[in-house]
């Protein structure tokens, strides 16, 4: 226990640093200095919690051993769990009932969504949990009968032995398989949602900041100003400070704003194409106007909304609504923006109009906390749930492998080659890892459909990216536990454990 605690603390400190670097990389921020963070209180709490768990396990185990008869302890390794095959109809009925409960829970989730927390929400969770439990409960009779019906598969290699071994413990392990499945569901769902929401926040941030800054003159309908010249005259030389910029006017949609279907704002075709060129996007041709657009025109959380792109000739006949001056800095954006803000803060500058500055730096700083919280909490919780499920499953399988060691030695004496025994071990471990994961993936697919519907309300959902990150997460961590468990179980089956 002490050795496990020491190793776990060392690995925990190292992996927390790796997780921090991974989060920072996804967060697109790279600090100049980032060292290992050693939290003494966290180490102390971990040692206390580990000690409490260890003492509870010792007490429970000691209590169980003290109540057992000596002869039972001596013969325990040679006894199998009593296995009574249930009637096929009962297993099928249990399976269908479990599937029915799961489908009911799925339907409630997809129709109600994730945001309504009421008694029906907890009923949905209860139905899903009960359905998962019945699904794994039915495997104890359903899987055996299904494979026994296919004689060539049943008697191939050591399949008969493997299936009997798996089926002999399903009576007591179906509860743990249910818990592991739900933990995997939480791991997949939390990780995918956090990554998906992170991409949505990032996409919304990019859409809100097509340029380094936007300076809007809301008094343009009263007095049009040469904004670049005004800034240069007050100490911000736009020709030197900016690598690209453009000044244009937004106009009222029509001479009669009350006309049906008018969005209230219009933009000349040449101005629209110039703004799109600064964003690196395609413009429109004269044959495509007039048209309604929603492409971002300003840097700021409150955009223009829907506007109408009209020909330059038509725009000349529409009254000016406001002026837009957009630009991208030539050098250090932070230093250049500080100089721009200093100019805007000069007394008397706003006498020439009513101005509002939208900054890409400000938008990214405001979104930084949200992105960090979403990513770190999502990846941290996903990792905790995944490690818990994989560790419990690995310990369970290694314990069973230790119990099965005499049986594999007997197979060896009966003439079963080592390769066949290794395949039998692989199949046993694979079934134990794959079955909870398969159902958890189904659960997660339904859950992510409901979660994406919520995320889509605030922006575009990048389901491919979130699925790829989650799959890599599972492949690396869950796959590593599976491989380590298989190698440990194989070593025991060969009599070397």
The tens digit of pLDDT for each residue in 317-360 reads 888 888 999 999 998 888 999 999 898 888 777 666 688 888 88
At 451-483, the pLDDT tens digits run 777 766 655 666 677 777 788 878 888 889 999
Model confidence pLDDT, tens digit, residues 113-122? 777 777 888 8
Pairwise CA distance, residues 478 & 491, whole Å:
20
Reference 444, options 462, 460, 467; nearest CA is: 467
Would you place residue 156 in the very low, low, confident or very high pLDDT band (cuts 50, 70, 90)?
A: confident
- pLDDT (0 to 100) of residue 160: 72
For residue 463, the model assigns a pLDDT of 66
Task: Give me the pLDDT at residue 325, please.
Answer: 92
User: b/e string for 279-298 if b means 16 or more Cβ within 10 A?
Assistant: eeeeeeeeeebeeebebbbb
Q: Over range 252-274, report the average pLDDT.
A: 74
Identify the bridge partners of residue 375 per DSSP, sorted by sequence position: none
- What is the Cα–Cα distance from 461 to 198, expressed in whole angstroms? 10
Please choose, from the candidates 320, 325, 323, 324, the residue with its C-alpha nearest in 3D space to the C-alpha of residue 251: 320
Strands (E), 349-471: 355-359
What does pLDDT average to over the chain? 81
> Quick one: average pLDDT of 388-410?
84
Q: Residue 368 pLDDT more than 80?
A: no
User: What is d(CA 16, CA 121) in angstroms, rounded to the nearest whole number?
Assistant: 34
Q: Taking a C-beta distance cutoff of 8 angstroms, is the pair 89, 142 a contact?
A: no
Q: Does the structure show a pLDDT above 70 at 245?
A: yes
What is the three-class DSSP state of 494? coil
Does residue 36 register a pLDDT over 80?
no
Rounded CA separation 300/487 (Å): 56
pLDDT value at position 273?
93
Percent of the chain scored above 90 by pLDDT? 10
The number of angstroms, rounded, from the C-alpha of 461 to the middle of its chain's C-alpha atoms is 12
Tell me how far the alpha carbon of residue 47 is from its chain's centroid: 30
> How far apart (Å, rounded) are the C-alpha atoms in residues 8 and 10?
5
Q: Using the predicted structure, report yes or no on whether residue 200 has a pLDDT greater than 90.
A: no
Q: What is the pLDDT of residue 291?
A: 87
CA atoms within 13 A on the CB side of 167: 22
Higher pLDDT among residues 42 and 416, named by residue:
42
- E strands, 372-469, are none
| Residue 78 vs residue 391, higher pLDDT | 391
**Tokens representing 470?**
């989650």
pLDDT(204) > 80 = no
pLDDT > 70? residue 304: yes
Bridge partners of residue 355, in order along the sequence: 217
One DSSP character per residue, 125-161 reads HHHHHHHHHHHHHHHHHHHHHHHHTSHHHHTSTTHHH
pLDDT digits (tens, 9 = 90+) for 416-449: 788 888 888 888 888 889 888 999 889 888 888 8
Q: What pLDDT score does 149 carry?
A: 64
User: Do the Cβ atoms of 429 and 482 come closer than 8 Å?
Assistant: yes
Predicted confidence at residue 275, as pLDDT, reads: 92
CA-CA distance, 115 to 202, in Å (whole number)? 23
Higher pLDDT, 160 or 97: 97
Decide if pLDDT at 269 tops 90. Answer: yes
- 183-187, 201-205, 411-415: least confidently modelled range: 201-205
To which residue do tokens 């100019």 refer?
343
Q: In terms of Cα–Cα distance, which of 147, 158, 175, 20 is closest to 85?
A: 147
Angle, vertex CA 36, rays to CA 32 and CA 40, nearest 5: 140
Top-confidence range, 74-88, 165-179, 274-288, 392-406? 274-288
Name residue, tokens 């075709």. Answer: 269
pLDDT value of residue 26: 57
In angstroms, the CA 398 to CA 401 distance is 5
Q: Is the pLDDT of residue 240 over 70?
A: yes
Strand partners of residue 307:
293
Residue 483 pLDDT? 92
Q: Flag whether pLDDT at 497 surpasses 60.
A: no
From CA 372, how far away is CA 377, in angstroms rounded?
Answer: 8
Confidence of residue 168 (pLDDT cuts 50, 70, 90): low
Name the token pair of 53: 């768990």
- Burial of 399 (C-beta count, 10 Å sphere; 0-12/13-18/19+): exposed
**Which pair of structure tokens corresponds to residue 148?**
């026994």
Residue 213 has pLDDT above 80, yes or no: yes
Q: Which of 45-54, 125-134, 179-188, 396-405 has the lowest mean pLDDT?
A: 396-405
**Are the beta carbons of 210 and 304 closer than 8 angstroms?**
no
Each as own residue / partner, the long-range contacts of residues 271-276 (CB below 8 Å, 24 or more positions apart, any chain) are: 271/246, 271/315, 272/309, 274/246, 274/248, 275/210, 275/246, 275/248, 275/324, 275/326
Higher pLDDT, 34 or 282: 282
């Amino acid at each position: 226990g002490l050795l496990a605690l020491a190793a776990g603390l060392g690995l925990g400190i190292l992996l927390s640093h790796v997780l921090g670097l991974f989060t920072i990389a996804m967060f697109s921020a790279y600090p100049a200095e980032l060292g290992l963070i050693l939290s003494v209180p966290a180490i102390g709490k971990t040692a206390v919690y580990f000690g409490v768990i260890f003492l509870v396990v010792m007490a429970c185990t000691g209590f169980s051993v003290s109540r057992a008869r000596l002869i039972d302890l001596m013969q325990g390794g040679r006894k199998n769990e009593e296995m009574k095959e249930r009637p096929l109809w009962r297993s099928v009925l249990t399976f269908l009932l479990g599937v029915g409960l799961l489908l009911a829970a799925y339907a409630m989730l997809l129709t109600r969504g994730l945001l309504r927390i009421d008694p029906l929400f907890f009923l949905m969770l209860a139905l899903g949990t009960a359905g998962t439990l019945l699904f794994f409960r039915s495997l104890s009779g359903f899987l055996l009968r299904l494979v026994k019906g296919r004689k060539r598969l049943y008697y191939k290699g050591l399949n008969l032995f493997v299936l009997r071994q798996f089926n002999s413990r399903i009576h007591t392990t179906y509860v743990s398989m249910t818990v592991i499945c739900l933990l995997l569901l939480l791991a997949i769902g939390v990780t995918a949602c956090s990554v998906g929401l992170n991409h949505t926040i990032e996409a919304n941030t990019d859409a809100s900041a097509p340029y380094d800054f936007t300076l809007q003159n809301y008094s343009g309908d009263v007095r049009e100003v040469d904004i670049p010249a005004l800034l240069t005259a007050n100490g911000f030389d736009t020709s030197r400070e900016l690598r690209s910029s453009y000044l244009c006017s937004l106009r009222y949609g029509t001479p009669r704003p009350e006309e049906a279907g008018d969005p209230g704002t219009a933009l000349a075709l040449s101005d629209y194409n110039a703004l799109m060129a600064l964003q690196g996007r395609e413009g429109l041709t004269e044959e495509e106007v007039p048209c309604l657009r929603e492409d971002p025109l300003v840097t700021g959380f409150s955009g223009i909304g829907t506007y109408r792109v009209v020909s330059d000739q038509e725009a000349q006949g529409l009254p000016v609504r406001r002026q837009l001056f957009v630009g991208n800095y030539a050098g250090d954006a932070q230093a250049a923006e500080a100089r721009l803000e200093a100019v805007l803060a000069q007394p008397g500058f706003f006498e020439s109009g009513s101005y509002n500055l939208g900054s890409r730096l400000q938008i990214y700083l405001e979104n930084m906390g949200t992105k960090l919280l979403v990513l770190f909490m999502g990846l941290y919780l996903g990792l905790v749930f995944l490690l818990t499920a994989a560790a419990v499953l690995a310990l369970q399988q290694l314990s069973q492998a230790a119990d099965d060691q005499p049986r594999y030695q007997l197979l060896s004496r009966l003439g079963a080659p080592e390769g066949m025994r290794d395949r039998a071990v692989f199949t046993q471990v694979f079934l134990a890892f794959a079955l909870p994961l398969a159902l958890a993936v189904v659960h997660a697919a339904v859950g992510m459909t409901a979660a994406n519907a919520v995320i889509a309300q605030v922006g575009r959902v990048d389901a491919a990216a979130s699925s790829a990150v989650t799959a890599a997460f599972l492949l690396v961590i869950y796959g590593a536990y599976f491989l380590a468990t298989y190698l440990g179980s194989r070593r025991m089956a060969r009599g070397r454990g």
